[in-house]
Amino acid sequence: MRTANPVDIDMVMEDANAARNALPQNPAAIANSLLAQLVAAGIYGDIGAEEKKRAALAQAARDSSALRPFPMLPVAVNARFHYLRYIGQQSAAEEELRELSEQTQHWHVAAYYMLILYEQGDIAKALEAAEKWRGNSWVGLLRAFVIAETSGGPDRALQAYKDLRARYKGTSLEASIAFILPYLGRKADALAASLTNREVIAQSSFVPEFVQRQVDYACQLISADKLLKSAANDRLSLCIAHFSIALTKLADADRVGARDHFRKAIATRYFVAGLYDLSWAFLARMDKDPTWPPWIPLKKDEAKP
């Protein structure tokens, strides 16, 4: 998934198939097989191996069906969600997650159900889905993005940002939390937060090099092109890079540029990354309403007559 290397994919498929065949009733083995089939389908599509792509998707469909008896297991929920979204069955994913949210309380369920509701613009229900798990770091971050679309939302979202930053100060989550600020159009605050994050990172010997480059970009110390170049050989880093650039463009009211980079983040197919999920959600909102988000002013050529 990270390298998208066609040389490795056949070996990956052999391992996934062997694990599933050895443990045919094991949901972890089935879920890993399902995710492997989706990754393989994308890579086979890239290299024009259409027969292998069809075979991978056919096995993914069988794996997805085999996970139905495990509706309470997060590993099964996670894999089926990615599969249903991959094949464009958002409505099926929504219904399944709605039922699960009534039967179990797990942050995976809350996060994915919340995202689908948010994509559809059902803000009230999205927030309701988040409340049970707002203490979870990822659900809490998603909640801050959603709050922006309520009455007085941008100010409330800014307070949610401050609460999250105070809770996770000095942790690796600070860089992700800072994404709330350009989303709100607060460019000066985003720069100040990124400069502070950069100081914290400079004191750590455990921060990956790409994370340092991403913060350098947020601090306006390197260009978007240089950030993308530093991420070129890693699909996860590339997804994060395009998401970062998209939010910068959104803060600058460049909605066309933002949509382009959200699409490119999705095109990495790194579908187990949270920022992939957010790219998907934001692009869905922009496709439905080219003037979204309402708190960022339109450019003159975008203004409605």
The domain that holds 295 is classified in CATH as 1.25.40
**Which residue is listed with tokens 């990754």?**
39
For residue 260, tell me if it sits in a domain: yes
pTM: 0.90
Query: Has residue 40 been placed in a domain?
Result: yes
Residues 176 and 67 reside in one and the same domain: no
Tokens linked to 159: 């307070």
Range of the domain at 32: 1-73
Q: Could you say which of 73, 101, 129 is where a domain stops? A: 73
Q: How many domains does the structure of the chain reveal?
A: 2
Q: Are residue 173 and residue 64 in the same domain, yes or no?
A: no
Q: What is the pLDDT of residues 88-129, one digit of tens each?
A: 887 787 887 887 777 766 777 888 888 889 988 899 989 988
Whether residues 180 and 288 share a domain: the answer is yes
Q: Which two tokens stand for residue 121?
A: 């613009």
pLDDT of 301 > 70? The answer is no
> Each residue of 243-291: pLDDT tens digit?
999 999 999 999 999 999 999 999 999 988 889 999 999 999 999 999 9
Task: State how far Cα 218 lies from the chain centre.
Answer: 19
Identify whether 106 is part of a domain.
no
pLDDT (tens digit per residue) in 141-171: 999 999 999 888 999 999 999 999 999 887 7
